[in-house]
Structure 1
């Protein structure tokens, strides 16, 4: 268990990652104003893979990870390189607002902690599971109240995105204990490149594009910051402070995303949305504090 300076260092690094990730939903919304949702989701991974490959070559590191860890890198690739961008992008493209998505994704820290518990074989206190259930109920009530009594297709997409990210975060945090965080995300992007690059080229040809300054800026953000740079301090923070402990910093991500949605997209901050975000924040904070 990390102690002392390691905990604070992990929290600070993870906080930088959260700050980077909090702009992902607004940037995705901007990007999809000029590009197809699938092109945004897959293209960001292709661009990030090229950057990651250049960084590995410049550092004199191998272009591929050790074979013993290929399964873990495959999980990261499926989870955060493809799964989260595709499902969250489609959710935004099918009617979910950035503020709505931020509240549903607010359960991501708890889901990540659950994955960490399962992978590490720990036995959390009963209150942990009570708080997890309360958080799930809070999000369920919020989504049902916004969807006329039933979850929308966008909500199901966001749930899939949440589960993908939790799995990718946990595997990345484990690998970052013995591999620098930038190499963890770089390897995940590189082994996904045989899929992401050709698919991106095809989508660029067959899908309509109407690039504007805003959509290009949004795509650049999700490709360079959300898909690559943000993961460098994030994985390093999870490794230094512990996956669940450092993951507490992600509690502020929904509130930051709500702020960006208000500032950049002009979305109204309704009382129900803020209440939902705060309820999830309280429940997830309890799970983190009672995990051990």
Structure 2
């Protein structure tokens, strides 16, 4: 492949190792709809474990420490891959987009959702985040100019309405501080997803994630130093596993397959697959955390899950 050096503007050849990950090829080229859907669903599976893993991580770390360390460890993994395959720096024109990805999905979403989980259950947070597909579709329509069909929007809005009704019912008709954190997380994450999906059509998805993590490294390293000095650490097996998963599983692996999937099937279509995430997270919160589920949580999750079939059909 050929990549333009942002430092010199001259063209240099980057050699793809024979055993490099398949994502080293431009994402979206030659990848069928089935492969893109499978990759996006793999990302959803990784993301569905994020909230339970965060709760485990909070057993050992404070919220600011957990988020900062998550970014540092994920950047270390990504940086190792970038160095191993000698990936050249992205074009200068891509750095602004990478900053949006980093601010949205590396720092903004993890921080706001971690703060929300200090007052909300994982089941509640998971269903509220079910609004993310609609939010992402809106951002994608504004950013790319692509307009999904009316049936697509009708199904997406229906799924969002179910989530909004659930949130209203669970909070007794008033929004909690945790809900405000979660709604803020939706906005920054949708922006990051949209920009990452756009960039993943121009460079391999794992490089989008990798460079966004590296770009945020000065912030996450400084944040780790300050947070660890202010928040006590209480080591536990759950805490270590939780930190490891949110760093390597959710932040690197999850975003890698997610962006690669979006490059193959489009941002709007991939975003609706994430309607399955609340139902998956409910299962994890019950099985891993032992949370008691009210009748409203699985009912709301099942309601938005039904909307997936409609939105996917509308995209065919």
What is the TM-score with the length of structure 1 in the denominator?
Answer: 0.92
Residues 274 and 70 of structure 1, relative CA distance in 2, 3 Å threshold: same
Specify every segment of 5 or more residues in structure 1 that has no aligned partner in the other structure, as ranges.
none
SS at match of 2:173: coil
Contact 1:109-1:284 at 8 Å conserved across structures = no
Partner of 2:95: 70
| Deviation string, structure 1 residues 43-84 (Cα, Å, up to 9, x no partner) | 20111112211211111113x432101111111011100111
RMSD: 1.9
Write the distance in 1 (CA, Å) between the matches of 2:50 and 2:77: 18
Q: Which stretch of structure 1 is more off in the superposition, 274-283 or 100-109?
A: 274-283
Structure 1 residue 241, shift from structure 2 partner: 1.8
In structure 2, stretches of 5+ residues that fail to align are 1-27
Q: Distance in 1 between matches of 2:137 and 2:51?
A: 22
Counterpart among 73, 97, 119 of residue 121 in structure 2: 97
Bigger relative contact order (CA 8 A; separation at least 6): 1
- Note closer, same or farther for the CA distance 1:4–1:45 as it changes in structure 2 (3 Å cut): closer
Inter-CA distance 165–91: structure 2 relative to 1 (3 Å threshold):
same
Q: Does 1:85 align with 2:110?
A: yes
What's the counterpart of residue 230 of structure 1?
254
Show the 5 A alignment for 1:196-235. Answer: 196-235=220-259
1:7·1:246 contact (CA, 8 Å) conserved in 2? no
TM-score under structure 2 length normalisation: 0.86
Query: Per the alignment, do residues 54 and 101 of structure 1 end up closer, same or farther by CA in structure 2, a change over 3 Å counting?
Result: same
Match of residue 183 from structure 2: 159
**Aligned partners of 1:137, 1:252: CA distance in 2, in Å?**
16
| Residue 190 of structure 1: aligned partner | 214
Q: Distance in 1 between matches of 2:308 and 2:42?
A: 20
Q: Number of matched residues?
A: 289
Q: Structure 1 CA distance, aligned partners of 2:159 and 2:211?
A: 33
- Alpha-carbon contact 1:106-1:251 (below 8 Å) kept: yes
Q: 1:41 deviation in Å?
A: 1.4
Distance in 1 between residues matched to 2:246 and 2:154, nearest whole Å: 35
Task: Decide which structure has the larger Cα Rg and report it.
Answer: 2
**Range that drifts further, 114-123 or 186-195:** 114-123
More helix by share: 1
Which of 305, 309, 314 is equivalent to 1:281?
305
Counterpart-to-counterpart distance in 1, 2:276 and 2:161: 19
Partner SS for 2:216: helix
